[in-house]
């Protein structure tokens, strides 16, 4: 509840400080793409862009399997029993999805080429699920207000997930 109040207060405070309404701007710029609209809103919550020295670093993962016992890349804090590093930069990781499966509750599980396993936190309706017989490329990034989002190439929606392996 408090997270939502803080989020709403941020949306209200940003137009007052900047003289523009970021919600209206995001809606106008990204009316047909909900994932881009959400990313725009999250960006508006962060305020002005940091200098080039402090911008998040884009990281591309290699396709080699990871053999270490304690993961250290994107989402590793969820594997390490929920420990979060709030001061960390928000990197983006490019991944190849090699296996997709859906449980009885509609939550998808995604196995990546590098051995990572991610699970949806919000159930996907049957009509919007990824094909289990197809391989996908995607981008995973940390959300501005917590959690992780996956943007699958060729799909118009974003998938909220958590890392389980």
What torsion do the CA atoms of 105, 1, 28, 37 make, to the nearest 10 degrees?
-40
Q: Which residue has the tokens 């106008």?
A: 28
Which candidate, 105, 117, 123, places its Cα nearest to that of 165? Answer: 117
Instruction: Give the E-state strand segments of 66-105 in sequence order.
Output: 92-102
pLDDT in tens, 27-37: 888 777 878 87
What number is the average pLDDT over the span 150-159?
92
Q: What is the mean pLDDT of the chain?
A: 75
**Alpha-carbon span 45 to 114, nearest angstrom:** 32
Average pLDDT of the segment spanning 149-158: 92
- At 55 the pLDDT is 47
- Compute the average pLDDT of residues 80-109: 77
Which stretch of DSSP H or E encloses residue 53? Answer: none
pLDDT in tens, 119-149: 999 998 988 999 988 999 999 999 878 889 9
Give 32-36 contacts, CB < 8 A, sequence gap 24+.
33/156, 34/156, 34/157, 34/158, 35/149, 35/151, 35/156, 35/157, 35/158
pLDDT tens-digit profile of 49-93?
Answer: 554 444 444 445 555 554 555 666 777 766 665 555 454 556 889
- Is residue 150 within 8 A of residue 158, CB to CB? The reply is yes
How remote is the C-alpha of 136 from its chain's centroid? 16
Give yes or no for a contact between 159 and 120, defined as CB atoms under 8 angstroms apart: yes
Q: Considering the entire predicted model, what is its pTM?
A: 0.48
Residue 79 has a pLDDT of 67
Per-residue confidence (pLDDT) for residue 87, from 0 to 100: 45
CA 165 – CA 158 distance, rounded (Å): 21
């Amino acid at each position: 509840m408090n997270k939502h109040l803080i989020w709403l207060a941020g949306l209200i405070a940003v137009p007052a400080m900047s003289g523009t309404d970021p919600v209206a701007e995001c809606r106008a710029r990204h009316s047909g793409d909900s994932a881009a609209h959400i990313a725009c809103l999250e960006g508006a919550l962060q305020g002005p862009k940091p200098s080039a020295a402090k911008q998040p670093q884009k990281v591309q993962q290699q396709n080699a399997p990871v053999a270490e016992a304690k993961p250290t890349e994107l989402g590793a804090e969820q594997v390490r029993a929920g420990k979060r590093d709030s001061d960390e930069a928000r990197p983006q990781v490019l991944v190849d999805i090699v296996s997709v499966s859906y449980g009885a509750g509609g939550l998808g599980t995604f196995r990546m080429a590098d051995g990572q396993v991610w699970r949806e936190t919000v159930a996907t309706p049957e009509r919007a699920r990824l094909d289990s017989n197809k391989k996908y490329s995607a981008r995973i990034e940390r959300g501005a207000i917590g959690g992780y989002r996956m943007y699958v190439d060729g799909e118009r929606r974003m998938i909220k997930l958590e890392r389980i392996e």
